[in-house]
Amino acid sequence: MVDLSVDLGPLSLTSPLVAACGTFGSVVEFARVADLSLYGAAVAKSVSEEPWEGRPPPRVAPTEVGMLNGIGIQNPGIHAWSSEIGPRLPGLDVPVWGSAVGTTSDEFARVAKGLESAGVGAVEVNLSCPNLEGESMFALDRSASARVVDAVRNSVGIPVGAKLSPNAEDIVAIARSVADAGADFVTLTNT
């Protein structure tokens, strides 16, 4: 068997493939239909401090070359996630990374701390979700992105990554700002 292991900052992965969070429910549900042992890690669906209902249907629209989605980060909130999903993580065949979302840097930090307490191996800070009503994406602003990553970095002892947006005017500058603020990796990019 070919050794596909890679190092990603402080993380050692058995494979360079990371299953991104997506339009399916939880990483536990994903494990029922995918062989997670083929991945180096799997990223859980983003979770917020309080429950978010998400967008009303329809949430997915097919196109000629794929699909568009607007889920709106429906999730039960970190407390429910930690009690419902957290205990199942050790039974999966892959390291699970949490994905934190929030409306302030302090909220991101509290969610990240909750994910760490639930046993995730790393936390991805979802700066890129375009579904936040009335607010600009953190991922479009270098300073705002750096503040969020800094707050999360100072609240957890596990690796921290930042999910960036393809809509950033200068995504390289955003990536540099989150790296300077303590991100161990970046995820490129949200849809």
Q: Domain limits of the chain?
A: 6-187
Active site residue 21: no
79-103 pLDDT per residue, tens: 999 999 999 999 888 999 999 999 9
Distance between CA atoms of residues 72 and 56, nearest Å = 9
Q: Burial, 56: exposed, middle or buried (Cβ in 10 Å; 0-12, 13-18, 19+)? A: exposed
Residue 134 has pLDDT above 80, yes or no: no
For the domain bounded by 6-187, which CATH number is listed?
3.20.20.70
Selected residue with higher pLDDT from 57 and 84:
84
Residue 111 CB coordination number (10 Å): 29
pTM recorded for the entire structure = 0.90
Per DSSP, 49 falls in state S
CA end-to-end distance (rounded Å), the chain: 34
Nearest by Cα to 155 from 82, 106, 89: 106
For tokens 């992965």, what's the residue? 13
Please tell me which residue in 129, 139, 164, 186 is annotated as part of the active site: 129
Question: Is it the case that residue 106 has pLDDT exceeding 80?
Answer: yes
